[in-house]
């Protein structure tokens, strides 16, 4: 089974792209969705102990947690040390189930792939990208987003130019949804037909 990681900086269109892979019948494990679920369940007591102000109505309030850790590198490290092993355990369960079903390939949707060394545990990397001005336009149109938050998020992410260099496959999303879908169809076809093999 070939395991590809899907990644890309904020605002590049990674979540939309992940949905399109699913439309083509490719199983996708969403690290961010896993974190969301953990913040409503298993991770709540752990976060409550570290950052009690981030708990509201028995769940982790992501906005409150973000306000605490985004400007505090030490707090971010402590959070990641607690959450990453939980996410990895869910990922391993997903991979085991996919292997059991005989899936030819799967996607691991990992936003901070290069930042966490995740490229070392996959066969190939798909990077979603777009022009910087389009990225800025998309991100600043999000509710509650501003230049300061955008800057803080970018500061934590490996630059897009570096991600492009490390990609096995590149999906450029400036051209709209249909153009993006065509690029994904090409990647799916290449892997399913055996035209691409891991080089890692």
How do residues 165-185 score in pLDDT, each as one tens digit?
Answer: 999 999 999 999 999 999 999
Q: Residue 89: pLDDT above 70?
A: yes
User: Are the C-beta atoms of 2 and 121 separated by less than 8 Å?
Assistant: no
pLDDT of residue 200: 63
Q: What does the mean pLDDT of the chain come to?
A: 92
Tell me the pTM. 0.85
Helix (H, G, I), strand (E, B) or coil at 175: coil
């Amino acid at each position: 089974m070939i395991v590809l990681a899907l990644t890309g900086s904020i605002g590049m269109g990674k979540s939309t792209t992940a949905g399109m892979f699913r439309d083509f019948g490719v199983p996708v494990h969403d690290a961010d969705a896993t974190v969301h679920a953990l913040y409503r369940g298993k991770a709540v007591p752990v976060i409550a102990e570290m950052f009690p102000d981030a708990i509201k109505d028995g769940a982790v309030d992501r906005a409150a947690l973000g306000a605490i850790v985004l400007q505090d590198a030490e707090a971010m490290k402590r959070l990641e040390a607690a959450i990453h092993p939980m996410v990895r355990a869910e990922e391993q369960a997903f991979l085991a189930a996919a292997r059991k079903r005989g899936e030819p390939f799967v996607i691991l949707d990992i936003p901070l792939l290069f930042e966490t060394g995740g490229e070392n545990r996959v066969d190939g990397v798909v990077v979603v990208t777009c022009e910087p001005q389009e990225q800025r336009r998309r991100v600043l149109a999000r509710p509650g987003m501003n230049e300061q938050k955008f800057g803080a998020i970018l500061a934590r992410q490996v630059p897009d130019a570096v991600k492009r260099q490390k990609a096995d496959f590149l999906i450029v999303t400036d051209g709209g949804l249909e153009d993006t879908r065509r690029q994904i169809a090409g990647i799916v076809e290449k892997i399913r037909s055996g035209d691409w093999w891991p080089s890692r």
